[in-house]
């Protein structure tokens, strides 16, 4: 039994190392520039070690893209409109430091190469933001005529564009400020003003 636990722990460490190495390579070189050999070298494992956990470069890219929301966890619990804001803020603050999020930002432009016909990252994020906005609307936080699906798309499109321009201009250093700007412009059009003016 102890031997099995040790093997399992070793396998989990190897898998995590491969995933991190893949994220770093994808973030630096994109999907097209990455190779399983480069990922194996970066992780310090054999090709067999990579293929034991992931069948292909495509599978690694899919895992990173579909797992993006798992890497964006606000430090405090919130719901509705506040959660939508918190998630985008945390994402903006962490992109510069997180290889997983940087890889996701880079891979979004090549999703047709490894996720053809599947739900893409934009659709995934739009669905998550839409769920928070619907909670907000049900709670009376949003104006009754707000189209939550349209607003969710606007938020995701704006954040995607912001991260692209921020990368080019400051290597994501000003991304948090750009996301704050998005919400400052958007909130007056969608949110119900409270009695204290917020």
What is the residue-level pLDDT of the chain in tens, covering all 198 positions? 577 777 888 889 999 999 999 999 999 999 999 999 999 999 999 999 999 999 999 999 999 999 999 999 888 899 999 999 999 999 999 998 999 999 998 998 888 888 887 778 889 999 999 999 999 999 999 999 999 999 999 999 999 999 999 999 999 999 999 999 999 999 999 999 865 444
Q: Please indicate, yes or no, whether residues 105 and 175 belong to a single structural domain of this protein.
A: yes
Q: Please indicate, yes or no, whether residues 34 and 110 belong to a single structural domain of this protein.
A: no
Q: What is the CATH number of the domain that holds 50?
A: 1.10.10.60
On whether residue 62 sits in a domain, the answer given is: no
Q: Please indicate, yes or no, whether residues 81 and 165 belong to a single structural domain of this protein.
A: yes
On whether residue 85 sits in a domain, the answer given is: yes
CB 162 within 8 A of CB 182: yes
Q: Please indicate, yes or no, whether residues 46 and 144 belong to a single structural domain of this protein.
A: no
How far is it, in rounded angstroms, from Cα 109 to Cα 124? 15
Q: Please indicate, yes or no, whether residues 122 and 174 belong to a single structural domain of this protein.
A: yes
pTM across the whole model: 0.86
**Per-residue buried b or exposed e for 23-35, using 16+ beta carbons within 10 Å of the residue's own CB:** bbbbbeebbeebe
Q: What does the block give as tokens for 114?
A: 């490894």
Q: Please indicate, yes or no, whether residues 53 and 87 belong to a single structural domain of this protein.
A: no
Q: What is the CATH number of the domain that holds 162?
A: 1.10.357
Q: Please indicate, yes or no, whether residues 36 and 73 belong to a single structural domain of this protein.
A: no
How far is it, in rounded angstroms, from Cα 130 to Cα 41? 40
State which residues form the domain around 38: 2-57
On whether residue 197 sits in a domain, the answer given is: no
State how many domains the chain has: 2
Q: Residue 180: which region, alpha, beta or left (left: phi > 0; alpha: psi -120 to 50)?
A: alpha
CB 26 within 8 A of CB 65: no
How far is it, in rounded angstroms, from Cα 193 to Cα 79? 17
On whether residue 82 sits in a domain, the answer given is: yes
């Amino acid at each position: 039994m102890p031997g099995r636990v040790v093997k399992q722990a070793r396998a989990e460490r190897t898998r995590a190392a491969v995933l991190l190495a893949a994220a770093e390579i994808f973030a630096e070189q994109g999907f097209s520039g990455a190779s399983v050999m480069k990922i194996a070298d970066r992780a310090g494992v054999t090709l067999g070690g990579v293929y034991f956990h992931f069948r292909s470069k495509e599978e690694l890219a899919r895992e990173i893209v579909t797992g993006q929301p798992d890497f964006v966890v606000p430090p405090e619990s919130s719901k509705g409109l506040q959660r939508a804001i918190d998630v985008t803020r945390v994402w903006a603050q962490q992109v510069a430091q997180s290889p997983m999020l940087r890889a996701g930002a880079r891979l979004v432009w090549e999703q047709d190469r490894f996720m053809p016909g599947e739900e893409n990252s934009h659709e995934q994020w739009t669905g998550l933001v839409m769920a928070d906005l619907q909670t907000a609307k049900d709670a009376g936080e949003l104006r009754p005529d707000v189209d939550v699906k349209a607003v969710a798309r606007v938020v995701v499109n704006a954040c995607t564009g912001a991260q692209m321009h921020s990368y080019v201009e400051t290597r994501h250093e000003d991304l948090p400020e750009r996301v704050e700007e998005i919400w400052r412009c958007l909130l007056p059009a969608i949110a119900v003003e409270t009695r204290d003016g917020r």
